[in-house]
Structure 1
């Protein structure tokens, strides 16, 4: 059995949305994590070496980092059509977006949000505006990152705009893309479940 270790309203939420899109039979284990605001604590039930999420266990395979998990799951469950497979048109662009998110987008988002986008960091990763320009260039060619069709790349790359909505730029092309992605039944379902779970935890 493939198992995802998940914490509500965290990075692992986008993996849950992906699982919904894939229609995959994956066991989801909810764990607690230390959150940015200081709430929560490491969970001994979480096998992640750093007690973070997401963490995917598939037999002897143990995966962390969303870009890797997305690639692994869309290759393991190819029937949904939301990711080009090896040899298919668009595979290179898809793999590029997985790597771009992990290597550029998230560091730029976090450093900008925390006011830590130092000159050295900007030299290494570019500015927030540079990152937005990369998104815009792709979205000008189609409503989604890979063109006409929604893909797992849209789930991953739109995810920070959902949990840091105030950082969505005042650019209609990007705003409309974020809204389209957020309206997907998979993403909306996970967001509602996360909200309910957080409310239940607050009452406990």
Structure 2
């Protein structure tokens, strides 16, 4: 049985969405987390994440943490759902690249912007990020062309939470609007606070 350690309105909400897209059976274990915006919450001893954060996923005693790793783990576990290209698929390389790009470029760039601690190099990286993402979405509806994937979920979850952290390009708003029509997202949001 899959167990998602979850805190409402946090990075773990995206995994409610992914699990719903996959049609996976899972249970939700709601845990408390420290939230720096608002300075609330605390580490929950019931949360197995090494830093007391979310998401954390437990699969038959195996702990998986970090968003990109969980996304890859789940899409590999449920290949029939076609939410992540399998090994041998020509889209596998771009998929892995977008997952790594989310963790290694987007998250740090947006956090530095949000905390107002961008130096000149950070500003250049943010501009490159915006250029790459915008030009991709000007050509295709999803990061992998016509194929919706867990990579889209990671990136879009940032827009759902903090749209103002990315420039006001219509392609971002359109991407978000396309995602917001997905039935799996509606089911996930209904479970977010449940």
- Residue 187 of structure 1: how far off its partner (Å): 2.1
User: For residue 200 of structure 1, what is the aligned residue in structure 2?
Assistant: none
1:185 to 183, 189, 194: 183
1:136 to 131, 134, 137: 134
- Residue 57 of structure 1: how far off its partner (Å): 1.5
- Where 1:56 maps in the other structure, the secondary structure is strand
Matching of residues 120-131 of structure 1 within 5 Å: 121-122=122-123, 126-127=125-126, 129-131=127-129
Matching of residues 36-51 of structure 1 within 5 Å: 36=36, 37-51=38-52
Does residue 58 in structure 1 map to residue 59 in structure 2? yes
Q: Any stretches of 5+ residues in structure 1 without a counterpart?
A: 198-204
- Where 1:20 maps in the other structure, the secondary structure is helix
User: For residue 97 of structure 1, what is the aligned residue in structure 2?
Assistant: 98
- Where 1:88 maps in the other structure, the secondary structure is coil
- Residue 19 of structure 1: how far off its partner (Å): 0.1
Q: Is the contact between residue 130 and residue 166 of structure 2 (CA under 8 Å) also seen in structure 1?
A: no
User: For residue 82 of structure 1, what is the aligned residue in structure 2?
Assistant: 83
Structure 2 length normalisation: TM-score?
0.92
Change in 2 beyond 3 A, CA 1:55/1:75: same
1: CA distance, partners of 2:99 / 2:49 = 21
Q: Any stretches of 5+ residues in structure 2 without a counterpart?
A: none
Structure 1 length normalisation: TM-score?
0.88
- Where 2:139 maps in the other structure, the secondary structure is coil
Residue by residue over 1:100-138, the C-alpha shift from the partner in whole angstroms, topping out at 9 and shown as x without a partner, is 000000111111011011235457xx12x3211111122
1: CA distance, partners of 2:48 / 2:151 = 26
Q: Is the contact between residue 162 and residue 182 of structure 1 (CA under 8 Å) also seen in structure 2?
A: no
1: CA distance, partners of 2:50 / 2:83 = 30
2: CA distance, partners of 1:66 / 1:47 = 15
User: For residue 110 of structure 1, what is the aligned residue in structure 2?
Assistant: 111
2: CA distance, partners of 1:121 / 1:51 = 28
1:151 to 149, 152, 159: 149
RMSD over equivalenced CA pairs, Å: 1.6
State the aligned residue count.
193
